[in-house]
Structure 1
Amino acid sequence: MRRSALLAAVGELLAERGPGFSLAEAAGLAGISTATAYRNFSDTASAIDAFYAELSGDLLAAFDRLPAGPDPVADIRAACREWVAQASRWGAAAVHVRSPRGVLARREDSFVGGLYERLGGLVGRAIDSGAAPAQDVRFAVLMWVTIFDERVVVDLTHTLGWTTRQVADHLTGALLRVLGLPSVS
């Protein structure tokens, strides 16, 4: 309970001002003692790492809970909706913990590798079923990750005030066009 409150505070502080906060500040925001915060994390950087590990794990777990149906395009749409729902909650914080390395170069990273595996599987199913034209799955996944970048979700939800449904619909339509699929259902 205390750890989850602390990680929520870390996410809130990241979203507000980036990584320039102390673990004591996160503890105060979480309503726990600084000593308790330091029992959970050695420093602010380790708390930020834990926050990122939790949000990335939550996204992959959410993808895993999506049932695979007979229509691979419907499954792609469902994954897109879930991604926007997740990123609308943590995107403003996640933009501060981004790697300067490319997505394809980080496939050995557990989160990026897991994300690539799930998205690549969905694209592969669409290709194998004939719903999508033959294409380089690596490029398709890279475009998916690019279109659904959390900075884009934050811009659309926070700056433009779009609903998560509007964001999901627009970004999904763009992705489907890139994949060579009809963008209307």
Structure 2
Amino acid sequence: MVEGRARRRTRSDTLATRKTLVVAVAELIAERGTDFQLADVAKRAGTSTATAYRHFATKEAAIEMAFAAWIDDLLGAIATAAEGLHGWARVRAVCDAWVAAAVHFAPATARLRSSVGLLRRLEDEDHVVTQVWKLLEPILGELIERELIPPHDKEFLFLCWNSLFDERNLLDLHGTMGWPVERISRTLGDALVAVLSHPPGGLRENSR
């Protein structure tokens, strides 16, 4: 029994240390991009360099683990928010969860953006983009099926949703303009509803 409790404490301490290190990685990326070393991570986390190396073999591994943790938090928040809801209520809940989860790591993830387009990455079965698609595609499909929005290419709507909630937008709205999370999610949610509700080609037709 004592040994079992000791093992649980050890695992708990290890996870807590790793979480602290991941937070340190995020802070350094936000400040410097990828121009840092594991010794910098250890110093920021208040631990030894040896401890940092026990958790991450390389700086690249640390960045990869930190990014994975952020994405897991985001996907988990979106999935939980969507449970049991339908229609616009589900869209709004996902928007709220997305902003609340992503705004904290936006300064770091904005520096790690891929140069490849979102839909190309979806086509190439990029893990992160594919997981977000699997969460949002059924929501978009339901809106179309229930005739809450006009029929449209779901991949285009997926692109619009991601474009509005891009971490660089969150960084500007929260960090530069000082908007609270609630205002960001409400305003971007309103913009998303307007985009999704607009008929395909409507802008072009109205401009004639």
TM-score interval (norm. to shorter): over 0.9
Q: How far does residue 116 in structure 1 lie from its aligned partner after superposition? A: 1.0
Percent of aligned pairs with the same residue? 39
Report the counterpart of residue 135 of structure 2 in structure 1: 118
Specify every segment of 5 or more residues in structure 2 that has no aligned partner in the other structure, as ranges. 1-15, 199-208
Q: Using the TM superposition, name which of 39-48 and 68-77 deviates more.
A: 68-77
For 1:121 and 1:81, how far apart are their aligned partners in 2?
Answer: 18
Maintained 8 Å contact 1:57/1:111: no
User: Does the residue aligned with 1:66 lie in a helix, a strand or coil?
Assistant: helix
Q: How far does residue 69 in structure 1 lie from its aligned partner after superposition? A: 3.9
The amino acid of 1:120's aligned partner reads E
For 1:25 and 1:69, how far apart are their aligned partners in 2?
Answer: 44
Q: How far does residue 81 in structure 1 lie from its aligned partner after superposition? A: 0.8
For 1:14 and 1:110, how far apart are their aligned partners in 2?
Answer: 22
Report the counterpart of residue 176 of structure 1 in structure 2: 193
For 1:23 and 1:70, how far apart are their aligned partners in 2?
Answer: 43
TM (norm. structure 1) is: 0.94
For 1:67 and 1:76, how far apart are their aligned partners in 2?
Answer: 8
For 2:129 and 2:73, how far apart are their aligned partners in 1?
Answer: 13
For 1:64 and 1:70, how far apart are their aligned partners in 2?
Answer: 11
- Report the aligned-residue RMSD: 1.2
State the Cα deviation string for residues 132-185 of structure 1 (Å, max 9, x = none).
11111000000000010000001000000001111111111111111017xxxx
For 2:136 and 2:186, how far apart are their aligned partners in 1?
Answer: 18
Report the counterpart of residue 167 of structure 2 in structure 1: 150
Maintained 8 Å contact 2:21/2:42: yes
State the Cα deviation string for residues 34-53 of structure 1 (Å, max 9, x = none).
01111111221111111111
User: Does the residue aligned with 2:42 lie in a helix, a strand or coil?
Assistant: helix
User: Does the residue aligned with 2:104 lie in a helix, a strand or coil?
Assistant: helix
How many pairs were matched up?
181
Within 5 A, what are the aligned runs for 1:1-185? Answer: 1-69=16-84, 71-107=86-122, 108-180=125-197
The amino acid of 2:168's aligned partner reads R
Maintained 8 Å contact 1:157/1:167: yes
Maintained 8 Å contact 2:82/2:94: no
Give 4+ residue runs of structure 1 displaced > 6 Å after superposition: none
For 1:64 and 1:166, how far apart are their aligned partners in 2?
Answer: 22
For 2:135 and 2:86, how far apart are their aligned partners in 1?
Answer: 16
